[in-house]
Structure 1
């Protein structure tokens, strides 16, 4: 794995690239105090989205370490999107955490990024490296979305398309380009399911979920809470919140939630 870097925006971030396997992963990193914040974006999102930018500015104001990256096939990273799986994006996220960040981190996972964050916790626990993840902020988290949110709604025709073509194409509400869900993504999703037992996080968890979310129903967040330890879990339901949670009031809630987690773990 290789690394290069150059100074980025006014946030004091260094923009660089990290080779993970045969893919070049783009990242931005700002040094600062602990705990650091690590951003994990959603499916087909990149690290320059509104929420990531707001968190970068917040971290800079507070003098906190901040790290974000694009998964392979996303944003400025290399690789083909259709080759991506939860396992691959998890491997890349762990590599960024291991090689770019320093000290305890609060993982901020949006949508699919919430699933990646929970899998990172599990993998770090297996290593006996529990102290590195100091907290979790999960925004409209979508753990196990392939099995829990997509599979039950697939029509017979869609299932046949996945089997015969190897992928499912779906109109996106957020892009002119359709969403692509591959057979490999569904199969790999089964191997990465987290809603099968207790998810021992060993850290405080805050979940923000919109009740007007058309992609991830708030019942999914309630189900996730059932799989987390009873203590140190906070769930905030936003009655008129959508999936993006990028309105000014949503962004304010996100920064206040991060600030609260920082205070808890310091």
Structure 2
């Protein structure tokens, strides 16, 4: 794991931690998952790949995550999206491949929407999405909420769920859930105008593979590859999963360069 100290981008008084490596393009931008950080196994693997291949690579921690400032409980998809766009515009140039893990895939898809609205759609050379969880608050969480959780949302403004990946529980706020509805991307066809590779484990306990199948079905106009990993879980951090990740990024890079 790299021990390089991050740079910080000040956004409305919140320090967003960024790690970047200079190199050739198309560059690669890592977008992590809910409660993850930019020094996790998959991001570190991509950093090593980028260093070996002389490729530009940028990653950051959302507010309330990792080395960034701010409170996790104040986070929403809109807030983390704005931070990701600010990092993208400040620290990258030219075409980029967005690599989004879990919630990061949702951020990536929303970034494409916002960049296209701003006339910057050509900045996205490709997408690699791992265990993608776009619209997870609406599609995967809300239908499963129990009576006690709904009561906590109403009375306390949040509820907690034990995490399999951290000693700290996941905290889901009413603001996060309400904001998730405003950021939905799976309500109709999704046009990314770039090649897409989706990696999805079939034994993922958090995001069912049917969610990835639905996502791919909404991308009829794009060149989409879906790799289903029979024994893959949500992390997709085993050596064979990491090898698939780097090969997917290399393949998208080749398409972008071609």
TM range (shorter): over 0.9
Q: Does 1:236 align with 2:227?
A: yes
Following superposition, which runs of at least 4 residues in structure 1 exceed 4 angstroms of deviation? none
How many residues get paired? 257
Say if 1:14 and 1:29, in contact at 8 Å, map to a contact too: no
Post-superposition CA distance 1:29-53 (Å, at most 9, x none): 1111010000000000000000000
Question: What secondary structure is seen at the aligned counterpart in 1 of 2:59?
Answer: strand
Q: Does 1:102 align with 2:93?
A: yes
Question: What secondary structure is seen at the aligned counterpart in 2 of 1:240?
Answer: coil
Say if 2:194 and 2:222, in contact at 8 Å, map to a contact too: no
* TM-score under structure 2 length normalisation: 0.97
Q: Which residue of 1 aligns with 2:207?
A: 216
| Cα offset, 1:230, TM superposition | 3.8
Say if 2:192 and 2:222, in contact at 8 Å, map to a contact too: no
Structure 2 unaligned spans of 5+: none
**CA distance in 2 between partners of 1:229 and 1:70 (Å):** 32
The within-5 A match list for 1:23-34 is: 23-34=14-25
Q: Which residue of 2 aligns with 1:116?
A: 107
Question: What secondary structure is seen at the aligned counterpart in 2 of 1:26?
Answer: strand
Residue 85 (structure 1) aligned to one of 47, 72, 76: 76
* TM-score under structure 1 length normalisation: 0.94
| Cα offset, 1:14, TM superposition | 7.3
* Alpha carbons of structure 1 residues 240 and 9: separation in structure 2 relative to 1, 3 Å: closer
Question: What secondary structure is seen at the aligned counterpart in 2 of 1:187?
Answer: helix
**CA distance in 2 between partners of 1:72 and 1:120 (Å):** 17
Question: What secondary structure is seen at the aligned counterpart in 1 of 2:42?
Answer: helix
Q: Which residue of 2 aligns with 1:3?
A: none
Q: Which residue of 2 aligns with 1:205?
A: 196
Structure 1 unaligned spans of 5+: 1-7
Report the aligned-residue RMSD.
Answer: 1.3
Q: Which residue of 1 aligns with 2:63?
A: 72
**CA distance in 1 between partners of 2:218 and 2:10 (Å):** 34
The within-5 A match list for 1:147-226 is: 147-226=138-217
